[in-house]
Amino acid sequence: MTLISFMRAGAIGAAALGATTALADAHRLDLSGETVEWIIPFSETGGSARWANFYAPLLSEALPGNPTVVVKFMPGAGSTTGANHFQGLSYEDGTTLFGSSGSTQFPYLLGDPRVRYEYGDWPVVLASGTGGVAYLPPAMAEAYAADPTALNDENFIYGAQSATGLDLVPLLAWEMLGLNVEPVFGIEGRGDGRLMFERGEANIDYQTSSSYLSGVAPLVEAGTATPWFSFGALDGDGNIVRDPTFPDMPSFKEVCEASPVCETSGTTWDAWKAFFVAGFPAQKMVFLANGAPEEAVATFTEAFASIKDRPDYAEISEAALGLYPQLTGAGAERAKSDATSVPDEARAFVREWLQDSYGIVLE
C-alpha cells in the first residue's frame, strides 16, 4: 500500500470511525472483570511480542470495563499452528484476539498446505505497518561497504523460521545480492535469530523495526553489530524509499543498485517488491474470531482508535514501534486486503524459487 493509499484509507477510516463510534456508544461490550487473551503465533522474543506487549496494557485501559489483556504465545510451524488454532475458534464474548504477522500472511498467499485459516473470516480491528533492518558483524559490514563483491565467497548462517514466511523477503534479497546464505530453519521467532547472532551461531540477520530498536540497537552501540540496510518504505507513487524510522540507512533498493549482480527491474525484483509490500506496510494485524458481531468490532475498533488519539501516543509509540501507520476502521480493512493478496506472477515466481532453492513444493 502506498503512502497515498494509507492517507486515503485513513481519511475513509476517520469517516467510518464516526459511524463506528456511534454504534459502539449504543452497543459497547462490557468486559468488566474479563480477561482478554491475545494470541501471538510466535515466541516471546520477537517483534510481534514487543508489538503486542506494547498495546496490551493500553488496550486494557481503552476497552469498556478495563479487562485484563494477556498476551499468549503459541509458536510453531512458522506461525501456522497459532493461526490454525484461532481459525477453529468461533466468536463467543470478545475475550480472544489474534495477532497476525507477515510470516502468517505469506503461507496463506503461497498456498502452503499447512494453512487451515482464512483471513476473510476474521474481522480486523487494527493494522500496523513496520519495516525491517538487515545487519552484519562489523568487520563484514566494513568489507561490504568497501567492495559489494567482497563477501560473495563468504558462507553465511542465518537463523530462520520458515522460507514461506517473512524470512522470504531477506532470503531472496540476499540471493539477489549474490550472497551464499544458509538458513537454519526452525526458530520460533525473530528474536531467536537475534540471539543466534549474539552467540556467534549466525553471522547475518534481520529484525523487524520494533525488535531492531529494542534488541539490536544496543548491539550496535556495543560495537558487536552494524546496520547494513533497511528494506525501505513506499512513497506516494509506490516507489521504495528510505524507511522514515531509519532515514540514515540505505534502502535495499539502494544497496541493490550499487551491487554489480542485483537488478531493480525484471521478474525477480517485481516478485521481491510484491512480497515486501504484502509483508511490511500492513505486517501486523489484530483480529476478532469468526462470527464477531458489529458491536464487538466497533468496540475494539474504537478502543484502538482511542489509543492512537492519546496525547502521549506519538512519544510512547515511536521508540517501541517506529514511525509507521497504525490503522483502524476502513483503513485497516484496506491494509488487510493489500496484505493478503499479491499478483499471480509474483506468487508463481516465488513458488518456483522456493522449490529450486529449498526443495519446498507447495501443493
Residue by residue, DSSP assigns 242-295 as: --TTSTTSPBHHHHHHHSSS--SSSHHHHHHHHHHHHHSTT-EEEEEPBT--HH
pLDDT digits (tens, 9 = 90+) for 65-119: 999 999 999 999 889 999 999 999 999 999 999 999 999 999 999 999 999 999 9
Locate the domains of the chain by residue range. 3-130+279-344, 132-278
Same fold, 3-130+279-344 and 132-278: yes
**What does the angle CA 338 – CA 175 – CA 150 come to, to the nearest 5 degrees?**
135
Using DSSP's 3-state secondary structure scheme, residue 358 falls into: helix
More confident residue, 26 or 32: 32
CATH number of 3-130+279-344: 3.40.190.150
In this structure, whether the domain defined by 132-278 belongs to CATH 3.60.70.12 is answered with no
Residue 19 has pLDDT above 60, yes or no: no
Q: What is the pTM of this model?
A: 0.83
pLDDT digits (tens, 9 = 90+) for 318-340: 988 999 989 999 999 998 998 99
**In this structure, are residues 115 and 122 in contact, taking their beta carbons and an 8 Å threshold?**
no
Q: Using 50, 70 and 90 to split pLDDT, how confident is the model at 18?
A: very low
Q: Residue 38's closest CA among 126, 103, 107, 102?
A: 126
